[in-house]
């Protein structure tokens, strides 16, 4: 990836030069973020095994990388006026085969990302 492409990916979404990353780029970034924050996992699947990235997996990777606890996830969602019960939050992180698994809709993932931005953003570069 060249520097110009990376710079455009890292722009805020309201910047005219912003471009959205592909699922492949996002997957590589999230795997790298988890490895950077938590270290290499001995249970990580081999590089040959491709795991389909979905909203629930994005949430899970962010939770793991940022070491977010349930109350922090709740706080982040409340920052963007999203109210979920503890059970609803837990259902987003369950195994897809579990009877209480809940698919994460695009709107909820976008709200969570906006909440993360608000949670971590210091307001220094606007």
pLDDT in tens, 93-112: 999 999 999 999 999 999 99
Query: Chain centroid to CA 6: how far?
Result: 18
Is 19 among the domain residues? yes
Backbone angles phi and psi of 19, in degrees to 5? -130, 145
In a domain, 41, yes or no: yes
Residue ranges for the chain with pLDDT beneath 50 = 126
Contact 36, 66 (CB under 8 A): no
pLDDT at residue number 101? 95
* Residues spanned by the domain of 23: 3-120
Q: What is the pTM of this model?
A: 0.78
Q: Please report whether residue 48 resides in a domain.
A: yes
Q: Does residue 98 belong to any structural domain of this protein?
A: yes
- What is the pLDDT, as a whole number, of residue 62? 92
Asked whether residue 72 is domain-assigned, the answer is yes
The closest of 79, 88, 85 to 113, measured between CA atoms, is: 79
Q: What is the pLDDT of residue 121?
A: 77
DSSP state of 79: H
Domain count for the chain = 1
64-2-52-85 Cα dihedral, nearest 10 degrees: 40
């Amino acid at each position: 990836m060249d520097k110009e492409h990376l710079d455009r990916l890292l722009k805020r979404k309201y910047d005219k030069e912003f471009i959205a990353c592909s699922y492949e780029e996002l997957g590589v970034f999230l795997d790298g973020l988890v490895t950077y924050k938590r270290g290499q996992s001995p249970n990580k699947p081999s590089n040959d095994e491709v795991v389909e990235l979905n909203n629930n997996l994005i949430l899970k990777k962010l939770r793991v990388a940022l070491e977010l606890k349930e109350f922090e996830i709740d706080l982040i969602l409340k920052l963007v006026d999203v109210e979920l019960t503890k059970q609803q939050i837990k259902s987003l992180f369950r195994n897809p085969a579990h009877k209480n698994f809940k698919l994460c809709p695009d709107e909820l993932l976008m709200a969570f990302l906006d909440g993360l931005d608000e949670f971590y953003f210091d307001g220094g570069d606007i």
